[in-house]
A and B are shown apart, each in its own frame.
Chain A
Amino acid sequence: MNEQRKAIYEFTKGIIKENPVLVTLLGMCPTLAVTVLAENGIGMGLATTFVLVCSNAVISLLKNVIPKAVRLPCFIVIIAGFVTFIDFMMKGYLPQLHSALGVFLQLITVNCIILGRAEAFASRNSIGRSVLDGLGMGIGFTLALFAMGSVREILGLGSWFGMKIPYLCDNPMTIFIMPAGGFFVLGCLIALVNKIANRKPPVEISCANCPNASACKGQCKAEEGA
């Protein structure tokens, strides 16, 4: 029962609580660049989910074989292999989507979500948990991109998946499909997810809440005192 709960947690944490885009703020480049259309967001999200699940599975499988000294180059080769595979498939079977995603499809290789999950999770956990983690994070990423793409397409183009929306299609707010609109929508979505997750800012900024604490080791406090 406990194992089942853990598995459910590994899967669901990436969707809202640890959403890679809206909570941990990783993978910002593709998030802002390709979400002009909801369709692009789904395509990019699914491609990333595929790479995330497959690379997590393979890295978890090989975690005892890969020496620590070359773990990062090995992870990158495995991730790049899956990205190239999905690039071939998309070019062959979905050329329109391939053209719309452009260079950002190849750049999945250096997406920090994937390398981050490989290093922080897959290289330390069993294959089953790693796959669930990859799937949850991938779905979280896809949902975030889909939400951003939908808002930007509806407000900026007055359409959704090519369907015209009355009034908005005659008076689109073009700012939403421009970079500034992307940042604005991203900010609103982050605020919304924080509200849903009931996340509050820390009352006092201390080493306990600081992500750089391990590297800094209280140096900043000493400097402040001086």
Chain B
Amino acid sequence: MKSKIMPPLVLTVICIVVCGLLVIAHNASHADKTGVVTPEMKKGCEEIFGKGDYSMLMKQDGHEKEPVTFGVKQVDSVIVDKAKKRCLFELTCDGYAKGGLHLLIGINDNGSIEGMHFLSVGETPGLGAKAAEKDYTDKFKGLSVESDIDGVDDLTAATYSSKGLKKACELALETYSVHKGEIFA
């Protein structure tokens, strides 16, 4: 009887203890950053537009507040500087790696791309990661929703990453042109 009860009992006790300790570890290490413009994001905003009063657009969903994404899957949040009529889209797009491009795209009051800042790059260093280098991202500066983004050449050995970046720019520009009124309301 003991030999039948002991194995599952020991396994259950170990599972419960491990789960309990993990709950404590999670609570100690997890910080809810929903709706917060992190220092890295702020650095990106200032790199693109210079100093300003940046805040994240939030919507009330029941009791919880969550960032406005306008229903676009790749948009994580929208950061605005309402006084100067400029905004930044935080996007996560697929390059060669799933979710490999996590960036901010700044759109100025003319509705064209002012610049971009990468929050993280999960692409292969030396290959796909070249798409995040300034030499390439500068080619997108000044493009608007009417521009032909596909006219920007893909990078050799970084085709998927280049296409991912173009997709991110397209999404940011389209979302801006459709929801401009709501962004600065």
Contacts and interface: CB of A to CB of B under 8 A. Distances in A.
Interface of A: 36-37, 62, 65-67, 69-70, 73-74, 77-78, 80-81, 84-85, 88-89, 91-93, 95-96, 99-100, 102, 153, 156-157, 172, 174, 177-178
Nearest to B29: A92
Given A77-B18, A84-B22, A93-B29, A177 B127 contact: yes
Give the interface SS of chain B, mostly helix, strand, loop or mixed.
helix
Contacts of A74: 10-11, 14
A95 B41 CA distance: 14
Given A84-B22, A99-B120, A177-B124, 16 more contacts: A67-B6, A70-B7, A73-B11, A78-B18, A80-B18, A81-B18, A81-B21, A84-B25, A85-B21, A85-B22, A88-B25, A92-B30, A95-B120, A96-B120, A102-B97, A156-B126
Interface string B155-181: 001000000000000000000000000
Interface in B105-137: 120, 122, 124-127
A100 B122 contact: yes
Interface string B10-36: 110011001001100110011100000
B8 interface: yes
A102 B25 contact: no
A115 to B, nearest CB: 15
Interface string B41-70: 000000000000000000000000000000
Given A77-B14, A91-B29, A92-B29, A174 B22 contact: no
Contacts of A157: 125-126
A96 B118 CA distance: 12
B15 A89 contact: no
Nearest to B13: A65
14 contacts: A36-B124, A37-B125, A67-B3, A70-B10, A70-B11, A77-B15, A77-B18, A80-B18, A88-B25, A88-B29, A95-B120, A96-B120, A102-B122, A153-B125
Given A92-B31, A174-B157, A77 B122 contact: no
Which one of B14, B97, B127 has the highest number of Cβ atoms from chain A below 10 Å of its Cβ? B14
A93 B30 CA distance: 9
Nearest to A67: B7
B5 to A, nearest CB: 10
A150 to B, nearest CB: 13
A89 B29 contact: yes
Contacts of A96: 120
Contacts of B30: 88, 92
A172 B126 contact: yes
Contacts of B22: 81, 84-85, 88
Nearest to B19: A81
B10 to A, nearest CB: 6
A36 B121 CA distance: 14
A92 B28 CA distance: 9
Given A95-B120, A172-B126, A174-B127, A88 B26 contact: yes
